[in-house]
Amino acid sequence: MFTLGAVRDEIADAYGLDVSGCTLLRSFVNDVYAVVTPGSRYVFKVYRHGFWSPDEVAWELDLSRHLLCSGVPVAEVVPLTDGRLLGSIDAPEGPRPYALTAFIESGGKARQPFTDQLYREFGAVTAAFHTAGDSFVTGYPRPSFDLITTLIQPLGLVLAELAARPLDRALIQALGNEAQRRIEDLLADGLDWGVVHGDVTLDNVFFGPGGPVIYDFDLAGLGFRAYDLHGVWQTEHWDAFADGYQQVRPLGDNDLAALPWFAIAGNISNLKFHLVDKPAFAGTESLADGWAENILIGVRAAAERLLG
């Protein structure tokens, strides 16, 4: 994390902006700052070193521009003075890519109680994202989120972390193996594949007078569209979300049948994040925050439904 003065100087030099205010909004996977200039507001995102390469971040920024040009409500990427969308700043651990986007003027994130109508709007904007992704072309690379990436590799890492908890380990092993078998069977008959957001939750949507605005493409890439929906599928508002989604884009029978198994894959990937990834950058004390245990509680309940 950089000092606010260093961030202000970098933005002034790279973008030619007169920065009158700079506030750290979040420091977690990446560092995110609110930036104020006379008459405008922006969001400055400094990516963690070693996660995405500069070219892989450039893929994400190209996607943002494509979505906006396709009519999907997203924040506009602001170019540097030389026209590039991506900058880089030196850090002790190595260079860190960064980007500046326009501030989303909206009513903020959704607040409880959530309604079916809100989820219909959420479903429609997610379907618009997926549909726009069908025509996305860029010369930059980005890893694909295939079955190895989303299930097989995370499963191996989680099983290693659960070595001292044999009952949970055996349960995760059985669920992971069954999920792999079921998804491979459905994959043989075809599953919708293309650009995915990677984290379709209300945490990544702002709602305002003009409707929902989707943001945070840090986990976007090529993947299974049904996998993108597994988190919403586990909420009580899934039917409303699916209704809004299918007003824009159909959901195939195979994709619907895969949802329970992609939910298992998603929960295993989330366990991997909280047991392996997060302690690496947030410290081992983060293991006590309760997220991993809550995921395990949900996985145990899913095992009773799916495995009997």
Task: Please state whether beta strands 144-145 and 221-224 pair in parallel, antiparallel, or not at all (unpaired).
Answer: parallel
**Which stretches of the chain are DSSP H helices?**
4-15, 54-69, 116-133, 147, 153-161, 166-189, 225-228, 230-233, 238-246, 253-272, 278-282, 291-306
- Domain containing residue 179: CATH number: 3.90.1200.10
Boundary-marking domain end, from 72, 102, 132: 102
Q: Is residue 109 part of a domain?
A: no
Pair 89, 52 in one domain: yes
Asked whether the beta carbons of 172 and 154 are under 8 A apart, the reply is: no
Q: What is the pLDDT, as a whole number, of residue 144? A: 95
Q: Is residue 253 part of a domain?
A: yes
Q: Is residue 93 part of a domain?
A: yes
Q: What is the pLDDT, as a whole number, of residue 303? A: 87
Stretch 241-249: mean pLDDT:
98
pLDDT at 181 over 90: yes
Residue 109 exposed, middle or buried by CB count within 10 Å (0-12, 13-18, 19+):
exposed
Pair 154, 245 in one domain: yes
Boundary-marking domain end, from 50, 70, 102: 102
Pair 235, 302 in one domain: yes
- Domain containing residue 34: CATH number: 3.30.200.20
Q: What is the mean pLDDT of the chain?
A: 95
Pair 57, 123 in one domain: no
pLDDT in tens, 111-145: 889 999 999 999 999 999 999 999 999 999 999 99
Q: What is the pLDDT, as a whole number, of residue 219? A: 95
The neighbour count for residue 122, using CB atoms within 10 Å, is: 26
pLDDT in tens, 84-108: 999 999 999 999 999 999 998 777 8
pLDDT at 308 over 80: no
Pair 167, 288 in one domain: yes
Pair 189, 250 in one domain: yes
Pair 135, 272 in one domain: yes
pLDDT in tens, 58-70: 999 999 999 999 9
Pair 42, 152 in one domain: no
Radius of gyration of the chain, Cα coordinates, nearest whole angstrom: 20
Is the four-CA dihedral 148, 52, 74, 194 of positive or negative sign?
Answer: negative
- Domain holding 40, by residue range, is 4-102
Nearest-angstrom CA–CA distance, 212 and 202? 10
Q: Is the pTM of this model over 0.75?
A: yes
Distances (CA, A) of 198 to 150, 168, 220: 10, 26, 5
Pair 93, 121 in one domain: no
Q: Provide the domain count of the chain.
A: 2
Stretch 187-194: mean pLDDT:
95
Q: Cis before residue 113, ω within 30 degrees of 0?
A: yes
Q: Is residue 107 part of a domain?
A: no
Q: Is residue 111 part of a domain?
A: no
- Which residue is listed with tokens 């302690």? 279
Q: Is residue 297 part of a domain?
A: yes
Q: Is residue 110 part of a domain?
A: no
